[in-house]
A and B are shown apart, each in its own frame.
Chain A
Amino acid sequence: DTAVSQTPKYLVTQMGNDKSIKCEQNLGHDTMYWYKQDSKKFLKIMFSYNNKELIINETVPNRFSPKSPDKAHLNLHINSLELGDSAVYFCASSQAGGGGNTIYFGEGSWLTVV
């Protein structure tokens, strides 16, 4: 059973389109995250939710909108895609707030904007 699963794994789309990436975790964790890993492999947090409540919102364009229907799901919707949005997006979860608790990552969603 995959702990953190995200779909789709690969996504190629044109500039200006709107796309969504879905994420689900079956670990019973309270906290979920979206991370972005750019072409230079730098992994940076975008959002963090705890029990469906947004707790971390880094400087991310408002074209990116996370939605958490319940604590096991955190989806990412991206409007008006731009070339610079091409990256790998990782969903992740942890028991509570990160800290010393392990952050479990999904396998990533490779987004290419053409």
Chain B
Amino acid sequence: QKEVEQDPGPLSVPEGAIVSLNCTYSNSAFQYFMWYRQYSRKGPELLMYTYSSGNKEDGRFTAQVDKSSKYISLFIRDSQPSDSATYLCAMRESGGYQKVTFGIGTKLQVIP
């Protein structure tokens, strides 16, 4: 079993839809949870970061972490064609120089 599981998609939605992206993980020591967005032929860029459990909102994006279920989500409201990209969840343990473990990424296409 991989440490971080993520459905690779692809996920196609119409413009304006609410998008839900999810990851599950097995390592209960993970404390930092991140979502990266990667456009085609580009490097990943950080979208949202959450420490431990809870919600975080930034504009149209909301990140949720449920440590009891080992489940994290990213919601995108009013999705736009410019949101079409691959979304990678990432997480790491606290302390020291812990490596960041990435999910495989979910490819999202928002259709105008």
CB-CB contacts of B43-84 with A at 8 A, as 1s and 0s?
Answer: 111100101000000000000000000000000000000000
List A residues at the B interface (Cβ < 8 Å): 4, 31, 40-45, 48, 50, 55-56, 58, 90, 92, 97-100, 102-108
Q: Does B29 contact A (CB under 8 A)?
A: no
Q: Which residue of A lies closest to B93 (CB)?
A: A99
Whether B49 and A48, one on each chain, are in contact in the complex, defined by CB atoms closer than 8 angstroms, is no
Pairs of residues from A and B, 8 with the lowest C-beta to C-beta distance, nearest first: A105-B43, A97-B97, A43-B102, A102-B46, A55-B97, A45-B99, A105-B44, A107-B43
Residues on the B chain within 8 Å of A50, using CB: 97
Which residues of chain A have C-beta atoms less than 8 A from B14's C-beta? none
A100 CA to B49 CA, complexed, in Å: 7
CB distance from A105 to the nearest CB of B (A): 3
Chain B interface size range: 20 to 34
**CA separation between A31 and B99, bound complex, in Å?**
12
Per the bound structure, the CA–CA distance linking A78 and B102 in Å amounts to 24
In the assembly, what is the distance between CA of A106 and CA of B42, in Å?
Answer: 8
**Residue ID in chain B nearest A105 by CB atoms:** B43
| Cβ–Cβ < 8 Å partners of B104 in chain A | 40-42
Contacts of B44 on A, CB cut-off 8 Å?
A: 43, 90, 105
Contacts beyond the supplied A43-B105, A90-B43: 4 A-B pairs with Cβ under 8 Å: A41-B105, A45-B99, A48-B99, A100-B49
- Check: B22 CB closer than 8 A to any chain A CB: no
* B43 with A98: CB separation less than 8 A: no
Does B20 interact with chain A (Cβ within 8 Å)? no
> Which residue of chain A has its CB nearest to the CB of B42?
A107
Alpha-carbon distance A105/B42, docked complex (angstroms): 9
